[in-house]
Amino acid sequence: MAAVEIEFDGNVAIVTINRPEAKNAINRAAAEGIAAAVDEVERRKDVAVAILTGAGNTFCAGMDLKAFLAGEQVRIEGRGFGGLCQAKLIKPMIAAVEGYALAGGFELALACDLIVASEAAKFGLPEVKRGLVANAGGLVRLPKQLPRRIATAMILTGDLVTSAYLEKYGLINSLTPAGGALAEAKKIAHVIAANGPMAIAAARKVLEDSQDWAVSDMFEKQNLITLPVFKSNDAREGATAFAQKRSPVWSGT
């Protein structure tokens, strides 16, 4: 049984961490499997969006501590924990969360562009309870995605919180009944996938990179990424399709 499986729903890829017996905790095989799946998503022109989820009604319990004690490396060079947390993605990724998203599992979700979660899902960074720290993105991403004091409390107490609590602060895009996260994530993914691929890639890159830009040069840096989109075949196709009242046929050029 593969530690990570990938399947396709039209131009949407579903990447599933497939270690339900270990609550989808990340060992070396899972990290390599996620990295390979990301490579496939980025390589394939017929894939526009990816969804990351977990088998067995659990998203991911974090690092496999048995693998850690056995000396397994669960970080991939250049990509970080789980083959994703420091990866430079081009295409959008949505986390579809059921059950627990804990420690590194939560950090995998934070590395995604959007989070869809069921009402039964729970999130947390319990590393401090085990003498560890959330260095796969929790310490640096969570304070940017939540109010600082809310993030600080989660990081320093290590306590778990509900999906409804995080939705209140805007961390979760959609809240679903238990068992409905993947279906909702697919709906959102297909809406995104219907848009121009060059426009999506440029918009995503600006969103990601601009967090570190100074106000004085943010438009200059943005234009380097976005102005080529206006000169693309896709831009002409989008305008033409609108005028002709039809769906656009994107070329990605």
Please tell me the distance from the alpha carbon of residue 11 to that of residue 126, in angstroms, as a whole number. Answer: 36
Nearest to 61 by CA among 140, 150, 115, 122: 122
What does 70-104 look like in DSSP terms, one character per residue? TT---EETTTEETTTTT---SS-EEEEE-SEEETH
Strands annotated E in the chain? 4-9, 12-17, 49-54, 75-76, 80-81, 93-97, 100-102, 114-118, 122-124, 161-162, 174-176
Q: Which residues are part of the catalytic machinery?
A: 107, 127
